[in-house]
Structure 1
Amino acid sequence: MIDSEQSVSSSSRPKVGFVSLGCPKNLVDSEVMMGLLDSAGAQMTNDASEAEILVVNTCSFIDKAKQESVDTILEMAQHKVDGKARRLIVAGCLVERYRDEIRKNIPEVDAVVGTGELEAILAAAGLSKPAPVISEPSPFTILTAAEAAAATATSIEFRAEGDLREQQGRFSRSEWDGAESSALPQYLYDHTTPRLLATGKTSAYIKIAEGCDHPCAFCVIPNLRGKFRSRRFESVVAEAESLVAQGVREIVLIGQDTTCYGEDMGLKDGLAQLLDRLAQIPDLKWLRFLYAYPNKITGKLLETIAKHDKIVKYLDVPLQHAAGPVLKSMKRGANADIFLKTVAKVREAVPGIALRTSFIVGFPGETEEDFETLCNFVRAAKFDWLGVFTYSDEEGSKAFDFGEKVPPRVIEQRRKKLMKLQQGISKKAKQNWVGRELDVLVEGESEETPLLWEGRSEFHAPEIDGTVYINDFGPFEELTPGRFYRCEITEAHDYDVVARIVSEV
């Protein structure tokens, strides 16, 4: 695991700096590795120039993410020359894909840790033995282990669908220079795993599952993360209760496909059951989940969302496209008419729900007619939030070998047109927010100007949707970040709104 003989003394509690790139699922992995290091005596620091050990947890989803990962590794490597760093560790998806190339081409890297090897971060950092607990403050929130009585068996189970897809070659990594190409990642943390929260004290992610079994032709995540596997029901509940006991008010459940939760354990409507149980935790304010596969949105799931005030009225359903031929080529299935029926079913079951989706434009073979079908669908569906990705040709994906590649110039034109279309839809929808009162989680002073503060409502997922700007503190001289306030929306813009404080919740 460790490629350098250079060691870092654990006797002086070495300082470790973390850079976490990519999605919230990757952030949870970083928090787990930080927790493991903390439990072994390391001290976390936000200042890379002061760190003796630097860890870059990488993303490898698309080309831009890979380039950002490489640039960050090289930036951190410079601290071995100009700073105090003596060890540089690279972790995450880029390691799964390019382990040998990283070792060969970036000699400053001392160790690599794949997505299924998180516990190896200790050996990589030279801290294999736990150290005595030290009372120095950490810049992060320490998530302590829940009661051991809540623990259940931790053996990994898989869905029959995943086993079948493995036989069909879905998870093949035979041509990769990645991490242990013959062995898929199987690691999955639980409620007893040490973890340091990097998201503040109010909001936290919980990863309820790992991996993915879907055959999507554009995606290599299953090759990077392995087959779908769920955490034990009681383990998720125990972690959630521990978080709330420490002051967390918003929990965000995440996974590649949270709507498959529990299928590998024989649970029917497992996500609905889990949400129903978590919604009963006292002092929890908001409960949300991200990434719902469209054909897994069951009546029971919608009924559960509608039933509990604590479950936010927000659903993120990455549809990827709306034209039947493109969806078939993507190995997703369905079409615009089916999706419109799904959207109508969701809105009927949960009135006022905010819907978010994402699309890929420029998939191989996408015609002008296909793109117009997508645009017409967006006009009809009127999503609250929408993201557009340009197709990225990923080696190892099925689509990599497809012909009829769309020229990059055309792909970018389509992206801009679709985003312009959504901008008009969003602007009109946000005008309807003016005059409404909403509970808003205030996050702090705006980076744009000290005259504004920022927050988000239940209709905003962390970091990906618009912003509630606060320009009037109402009855308060100052606000406290991390608290909930009742706000009245006074202005609306394309994606963001402006509000004044009415009261504290």
Structure 2
Amino acid sequence: MGILSPMTTQPTVRLITLGCAKNEVDSEEIAGVLQQAGYRLDPHTRTPDVIVINTCGFIEPAKQESLQVIRDALREKRTGNVQKVIVAGCLVQRMGDALRQMLPEVDAFVGVGQMARFAEIVNAARQSQKPLTDIQPPHHRWAEVTTRLRSRTPWSAYLKISEGCDHQCTFCTIPSFRGRHVSKPIERILEEARWLAQNGAKELNLIAQDTTQYGYDLYRRFMLPALLRELAQVEGIRWIRIHYAYPSRVSDTLIETMASLPPVVPYLDVPLQHVNREILRAMRRPGDGATYLRMIERLRTAMPDIAIRTTFIVGFPGETEAQFQELLDFLHEARMDRVGAFIYSRERGTPAAELPDQVPFRVKRERY
């Protein structure tokens, strides 16, 4: 792990996390590894020995935010208040050498899935006069023990149940830098859930790129219902909440399991992205508005008080006014409890970026 010498003054790390809840969990694992290796984590120090930035690279606005935070850290380094700046995570994995050429003052670039080795990498960067790069092909090996250093209120915790994604949505870059779907073994999830409960967690928020695909790679069947039954028995856990469900995998078995387990909150986060059949096929996604309405009806029949959250993309290539109106009509009929909207971002390397009939930004903004 790269433990510091007992004679070494305890160095300070300011860890900055950008992006989604999954990144937040990664940062908590990084923080735990660094703390065990003798580093002191302080998010407020003005003179850290090391700034670690866990970046997001999902879409262009997230990329620009990450770049701005990196440049701000480098300005601090030039003043002498910071010794080393280390950039990690999705943007590094996505951009690779291009990012290194763009930001030569960064002391180390670390790709995804390197949490267990992070202390070793930071130690090496502190001792090196040359920039380091550690970007491996996307893969994930789950740590044998929980090392997370919690960063939020103790009573509610994110619990990552898998990594990566096997879907091929034409607008999405995530599989290219997060890799294929890899489930965390049930035994390992239960161990982490018990650890979280012992450290004050009352609510578990299950997260992944697709929580409903959980277990298929390990057990050859979708295991989210079985996982819920096991988690519902963890002592001290009062609420379990499911995020990032894939609509075509919200099965009757899953719905029945949710409805039958008191700790499972009547809540589902299920990104739909659109409701027009032609747009969804161009996105390489299943279903349509009618299919989704039936899914919502099944959920509300089983759990009348369920809260359903979703997200949509507006301005996808080829989206007409009529197709956008179809989305608005769906929202009126579906009566979703919470809706997030995103302006389509034309991401280099994705199939959707090459589609004809790209919607002008002015129109996308109006629809947003």
Structure 1 length as normaliser, TM-score? Answer: 0.68
| 2:227 counterpart of 1:298 | no
| 2:345 counterpart of 1:348 | no
Runs of 5+ consecutive residues of structure 2 not aligned to the other structure:
126-132
Supply the AA of the counterpart residue of 1:299: D
Partner of 1:405: 358
Whether the aligned pair in 2 keeps the contact of 1:251 and 1:288 (CA below 8 Å) is yes
Distance between the aligned counterparts of 2:59 and 2:96, measured in 1?
Answer: 17
* 1:270 Cα deviation after fit: 0.6
1:225 to 178, 183, 207: 178
Distance between the aligned counterparts of 1:95 and 1:120, measured in 2?
Answer: 16
Partner of 1:501: none
* 1:48 Cα deviation after fit: 4.2
| 2:317 counterpart of 1:364 | yes
1:244-283 correspondence runs (5 A): 244-283=197-236
Distance between the aligned counterparts of 2:195 and 2:61, measured in 1?
Answer: 36
Whether the aligned pair in 1 keeps the contact of 2:16 and 2:43 (CA below 8 Å) is no
Closer/same/farther in 2, CA of residues 299 and 191 from structure 1, 3 Å limit: farther
Distance between the aligned counterparts of 2:7 and 2:86, measured in 1?
Answer: 16
Structure 2 length as normaliser, TM-score? Answer: 0.93
Whether the aligned pair in 2 keeps the contact of 1:40 and 1:127 (CA below 8 Å) is no
Report SS of the residue matched to 1:333: coil
1:36-435 correspondence runs (5 A): 36-82=33-79, 84-126=81-123, 184-190=137-143, 192-415=145-368
Whether the aligned pair in 2 keeps the contact of 1:118 and 1:187 (CA below 8 Å) is no
Report SS of the residue matched to 1:17: strand
* 1:258 Cα deviation after fit: 0.4
* 1:108 Cα deviation after fit: 2.0
Please give the per-residue CA displacement for 1:187-206, whole angstroms capped at 9, x wherever unaligned.
24345042211112111111
* 1:121 Cα deviation after fit: 2.0
Supply the AA of the counterpart residue of 2:237: L
Whether the aligned pair in 1 keeps the contact of 2:56 and 2:63 (CA below 8 Å) is yes
Please give the per-residue CA displacement for 1:147-173, whole angstroms capped at 9, x wherever unaligned.
xxxxxxxxxxxxxxxxxxxxxxxxxxx
What is the count of residue pairs matched by the alignment?
Answer: 358
Runs of 5+ consecutive residues of structure 1 not aligned to the other structure:
1-6, 129-177, 416-505
Whether the aligned pair in 2 keeps the contact of 1:269 and 1:301 (CA below 8 Å) is no
Supply the AA of the counterpart residue of 1:45: D
Whether the aligned pair in 2 keeps the contact of 1:79 and 1:85 (CA below 8 Å) is yes
Distance between the aligned counterparts of 2:299 and 2:143, measured in 1?
Answer: 32
Distance between the aligned counterparts of 1:10 and 1:126, measured in 2?
Answer: 15
Distance between the aligned counterparts of 1:101 and 1:256, measured in 2?
Answer: 26
The CA RMSD over aligned residues, in Å, is 1.9
Distance between the aligned counterparts of 1:68 and 1:282, measured in 2?
Answer: 40
Whether the aligned pair in 2 keeps the contact of 1:362 and 1:391 (CA below 8 Å) is yes
Whether the aligned pair in 2 keeps the contact of 1:203 and 1:249 (CA below 8 Å) is yes
Supply the AA of the counterpart residue of 1:371: F
Partner of 1:4: none
Distance between the aligned counterparts of 2:192 and 2:175, measured in 1?
Answer: 26
| 2:15 counterpart of 1:18 | yes
Distance between the aligned counterparts of 1:10 and 1:366, measured in 2?
Answer: 63
* 1:127 Cα deviation after fit: 6.3
Based on CA coordinates, which of the two structures has the bigger radius of gyration? 1
Whether the aligned pair in 2 keeps the contact of 1:250 and 1:284 (CA below 8 Å) is yes
Partner of 1:486: none
Partner of 1:439: none
Structure 1 residue ranges (4+ consecutive) displaced by more than 6 angstroms after TM superposition: 7-10
Closer/same/farther in 2, CA of residues 112 and 193 from structure 1, 3 Å limit: farther
Distance between the aligned counterparts of 1:258 and 1:201, measured in 2?
Answer: 23
Distance between the aligned counterparts of 2:226 and 2:263, measured in 1?
Answer: 14
Say which structure, 1 or 2, has more relative contact order (CA 8 Å, 6+ apart). Answer: 2
Higher helix share: 2
Report SS of the residue matched to 1:201: coil
Please give the per-residue CA displacement for 1:391-433, whole angstroms capped at 9, x wherever unaligned.
0000011101111100000001111xxxxxxxxxxxxxxxxxx
Distance between the aligned counterparts of 1:353 and 1:308, measured in 2?
Answer: 13
Partner of 2:128: none
Distance between the aligned counterparts of 1:392 and 1:179, measured in 2?
Answer: 28
* 1:83 Cα deviation after fit: 5.1
